[in-house]
Amino acid sequence: MGDPSTTIPRRFTRIPQAYRGERIGLFGGSFNPPHEGHLHVAEQALRRLQLDRVWWLVTPGNPLKDTGILAPLAERLAACEELARDRRMVVSALELGLTTRFTADTLHHITMRHPGTDFVWVMGADNLGQFHRWDRWRAIANLLPIAVVDRPGSTMALHNAPAAEALARFRIDEDDSSLLASKSPPAWTFLHGPRNALSSTALRAGDAS
């Protein structure tokens, strides 16, 4: 297999433009494949956090997942762009350009590059359950606010996820979620609401059957 950095268009590997005063959601994942559940999370973040844009950070490989089942990065990027057609959504593989492996390092680079921008880390509730296993997860929580969007089967993560328990005193009510982007971290909220049951695992299983 060739070096992916030589086959991915440069527009994906550059850090997207961000402006002082903007409110931008950072939505990371393997997106293997991207689906309507991912789009639901991004749309909820845009609307309820009153963001200007959401960057889909498509990772070349997730340290907590089997990289052997990953589709080629170029395919996942193209599929994300096909799904996320709202002009306020930007698909990126900036980790490839930064050569970072862990989310903590990636977010450090992004926030250092754009000190006047209000960034929010966005994730589905299914990821909240394993957030405590991420490399330097507490550093992530101390770097920027976090929005967790409800996902089917993961609502209870709000109450029993180790990271949720550790950060409980920093959670703001979802009725105030529009203020999250301007909050000093650690700060986070859990967004309840309509849930989309699609998952990448189920889609891959369907393709294999």
- Phi, psi values for residue 83, rounded to 5°: -85, -45
Q: Does domain 13-208 fall into CATH 3.40.50.620?
A: yes
Distances (CA, A) of 115 to 33, 98, 100, 107, 188: 32, 18, 19, 12, 20
Maximum Cα–Cα distance for the chain, whole Å?
48
DSSP-derived 3-state class of residue 21: coil
The one-character DSSP state at 171 is B
Structural contact between residues 166 and 132, judged by C-beta atoms closer than 8 angstroms: yes
The confidence score (pLDDT) of residue 1 equals 44
pLDDT for the residue 154: 86
What integer pLDDT is reported at residue 204 of this predicted model?
Answer: 34
144, 176 Cβ separation under 8 angstroms: no
Instruction: Please name the residue that has the structure tokens 């089917």.
Output: 152
Average pLDDT along the chain, 209 residues, taken 10 residues at a time: 68 95 97 96 97 97 71 96 97 94 96 96 95 97 98 89 97 98 98 64 44
Question: In which order are the strands placed within the sheet that holds 118-124?
Answer: 89-92, 53-58, 23-29, 118-124, 146-149, 188-191
pLDDT of 200: 41
User: Strands 23-29 and 118-124: what pairing?
Assistant: parallel
pLDDT of residue 208: 40
pLDDT for res 209: 34
pLDDT of residue 69: 82
